[in-house]
Structures are given as structure tokens and as C-alpha cells.
Amino acid sequence: MLKKSSLVLWGVVLFVAWNALLLFFLWTRPPAFDDHSHLTEEVIRLAQDAELELEHQKDLLRQIHRYSTLWSKKRKKVEEAGRLPPPAAASNTGALPATEAVPPRSRASPDAVLPVVVIACDRSTVRRCLDKLLHYRPSRERFPIIVSQDCGHEETARVIASYGEAVMHIKQPDLSDIPVPTDHRKFQGYYKIARHYRWALSQVFRTFQYRAAIVVEDDLEVAPDFFEYFQAAFPLLLADPSLWCVSAWNDNGKEQMVEAGRAELLYRTDFFPGLGWLLLSELWDELEPKWPRAFWDDWMRQPEQRRSRSCIRPEVSRTMTFGRKGVSHGQFFDQYLKFIKLNDRFVPFTQLDLSYLKKEEYERSFLPAVYGAPELRVEELQGNQRRDLGTVRVQYSSRDSFKAFAKALGVMDDLKSGVPRAGYRGIVSFLYRGRRVYLAPPSDWTGYDPSWS
């Protein structure tokens, strides 16, 4: 295991070596021009570039030095309590090669530390996110908060700094524009977000060597039982290799579409929800080497990444977004996101038996419930007919019929690699006019068709 003191020493060595190379390059570079004025301009430009790189390297060194002492104290305290096994030594690349088989589960304790990583940029309203996290956080030791900031926005940086040692503030050092194809210039923001995610998660899993992390963005507000939910679901994620994340989000979680009185309900979903999600370090080992340059969340939804694995998601969301403005320019916000119901009561998830969410048990109960429900046509549902039937099923058989029925019933109708939002085996569960509805494919369903996207 690499100790933090060694990491600081290596940081110093790399810092000095890099700057020595820069100076050597400047001194030994042959003149590119005969004209002295051009040569002077070239030397000035190179000196300015060198100065920027020096600042870049010094910033990295300051971050490593700032948190080395803090990390050493935290790790000592946690390891003495027997809650966090020593991490494996980090490799030079910081990643393990991905294989076709699903990677083995971590043997980390179910009571391991779960840091919350807040992905921030230029929203000074990050205060709303941090205030709720700190208000509901049951333990500073169990749930350290790391705010990773991109963009270099000074006002946002001041807001984060105002929390002092209550949060750890790290800064993405590379703020440069990213070369993108001409037709992607308007998507520069998505490229920077993907770069920031990669840097932030690498800090969490490589530098700080946590075994798992909860990821939220700076425009999310959390529910009173946000931490309780993830603490209870973490052992499930460790135990079931058919799971690859736990999410706080229900894509179809508008107030009239969820059973708020049963906030303890949890589901499996084949759709990666994001918006407050827990992952293991093993998953980062797998994803980091092939991390995309942009659109990371839709990339996660591709079959090559999902590999038939599922996430856990709640009936009632444990996060809500208040960030209408962003790189997506409010896409879906006015129609869906601002209506998402945030859970407002505490569910003691750690006292509940969640084993029913393991794949085999879940399918033994969930699938018979779906296909045992009487089938109803969309028109009958819209006309509020056959109320005596209670829970019902609406069956679709094609991409077009799914989209038509979803739109008619107020469900999000977009598909990613053929997977409907919040769907499991193609089944989407929601409330419509107070009754449970399963929008489902035929019972002989054989898998998703990516061409449906």
C-alpha cells in the first residue's frame, strides 16, 4: 500500500522533474527563425506556456499536500475502528484490465466508509446541495463529503471554501478547452463534464483509495433518508454481481405517478438512472480505461458497459434537481424533472430486509405480479374503466407502441439502447390515476433491441 507521505514525495519528485525538463527544452531548443524579433516572440510564448504549466503542477502539488495529512488522520481513525480494510496498491495506470466476465465483488465491510462526491462547476447554488447533505448526514466519519470543482468559478469556490473542514474541496487542474469535431462544438460542455468525472472518480478511488462512493451533482437536493438508503443498499451491491449501481432517482417519479405512502418500495432497473448513485471501486477499475470523451451517462447505458447488470432505484426519489440551467439547456426539466417528488419522510432501510432485491428472489415475485395482472387497453385506463381490477398491465409489442402508450400515460417515452427509463426486463411500473400500472412487453420477452433507440 502506498502511504500518503510517499505520494507527497513522488509529487515533489515529479514536480521538480517536469520543470527541469521544461527548462532543458527551452535552453536546448534551436532557433526557429533568423529574425531576432520573431525569436524573441517565440521565447516569450514558450516562457508563458512554461509559466502556465508550472502553475498547473504547483496546484496539483498543493492539493496533494493539503489532503495528505487530513487523509492520514482519517484512515488511521477508520482502520483502528476496523471498518475499512487496507486498499490494494494502486497501479501506475490506476486501473485493472476489463474482462468479459463480471468482476468479482469486493470483500469490503458492509460498514465501510461511503464518501459523497459532489461534482461542481459554476453554480454558487451548490450551497443548497451542501446544506442538505450536511443537515442529514448521520456521521462525518462514515460519510465524508468531497466537493470536486471544475470551471475555476471564483464565486462557487468561495461558497465551497466557506464550509471549512466540513467538506473536502478539490479542484480539477485542467480547465483547457477540449478539441472536438466541428459538429460537436456546441457540446464542448459535455466533453468537459466527462473529463471532470474521470478526474474526480480517479481521485476518489486512486488517490484517496475508497472502496465505494456516492456521486451527486451540485444541483441536487437530497431526502432525509438519503444516507440511510445508501447505507442499507451497499451490502446488497457487494453481494449481488448482477447489480452495478444503486441510484436515488426514479425517472418516472412525478408526484402523481408514485405511491408516496409506500416510500420504502425499491425496484431493480436495467436503466442507469444516475442523479445520486453509488458505485464500487471495482466498477471504476472496469470503466476507467475506456471512459468516454463525452456523454458519459448515455455511454453507461450502452450494452457494452451495462453487460446485463441492473441498478436499484426507489419508488420515491431520494434526490431532486433544482438546476434548470446547464449544458443541457433545461432539456426535460420543465416537462418532467421539476415535478419529481422528493421523499419527505425517513424510512429506516437499515432495519429492513432488502434481500428480495437479489436477482433470483426479485424475479420470483415481481414477474408473476406483472404477468398475473389483468391486461387493460390504454383507452380503458384513460377512461378510468374497470376500477375493480386494481393493479393492471398494459402490453406493448414494438418500439412505436411503447412510445405511444408511454406518452399517453405520462411516462417518459425515450429509450436508450432499447431500454426504457426505470424499466426492468422491459417493464415500467408507475401509478396512473391512483392505480398501479405495469407497462410491459409480452411474457416471452427475450431481451432489449438496441435499434429501438
Range of the domain at 302: 95-357
Say yes or no: 41 and 115 in one domain: no
On whether residue 217 sits in a domain, the answer given is: yes
- pTM reported for the whole predicted model: 0.80
Q: What is the CA radius of gyration of the chain?
A: 25
Which residues are 269's β-sheet partners? 311
Looking at 323, 357, 391, which one is the last position of a domain? 357
On whether residue 90 sits in a domain, the answer given is: no
* Helical axes 126-136 vs 226-239, angle rounded to 10°: 80
Strands 168-171 and 145-149: parallel
Which of 141, 291, 335, 130 lies closest to 217 in space, CA to CA? 130
Which of 293, 290, 151, 300 lies closest to 215 in space, CA to CA? 300
Say yes or no: 337 and 432 in one domain: no
Task: Determine which of 4-18, 102-116, 174-188, 211-225 has the lowest per-residue pLDDT on average.
Answer: 4-18
Say yes or no: 198 and 303 in one domain: yes
Kindly report the number of other CB atoms within 10 A of residue 405's CB atom: 20
Confidence category of residue 112, pLDDT binned at 50, 70, 90: confident
CATH number at residue 107: 3.90.550.10
| Dihedrals phi, psi of 277, to nearest 5 degrees | -145, 150
| Mean pLDDT across the chain | 85
Domain count, the chain: 3
pLDDT at 217: 97
Say yes or no: 229 and 366 in one domain: no
Say yes or no: 304 and 400 in one domain: no
CA-CA distance, 62 to 348, in Å (whole number)? 41
49, 150, 251, 297: which is the annotated catalytic residue? 297
Say yes or no: 61 and 120 in one domain: no
CA-CA distance, 399 to 412, in Å (whole number)? 13
Say yes or no: 366 and 256 in one domain: no
400 is catalytic: no
Question: CA torsion, points 423, 427, 432, 434, in degrees to nearest 10?
Answer: -100
| Dihedrals phi, psi of 338, to nearest 5 degrees | -70, -10
CA-CA distance, 201 to 196, in Å (whole number)? 8
2-29: average pLDDT: 54
Q: 174-225, pLDDT tens digit by residue?
A: 999 999 999 998 999 999 999 999 999 999 999 999 999 999 999 999 999 9
On whether residue 64 sits in a domain, the answer given is: yes
Q: 283-329, pLDDT tens digit by residue?
A: 999 999 999 999 999 999 999 999 999 999 999 999 999 986 655 54
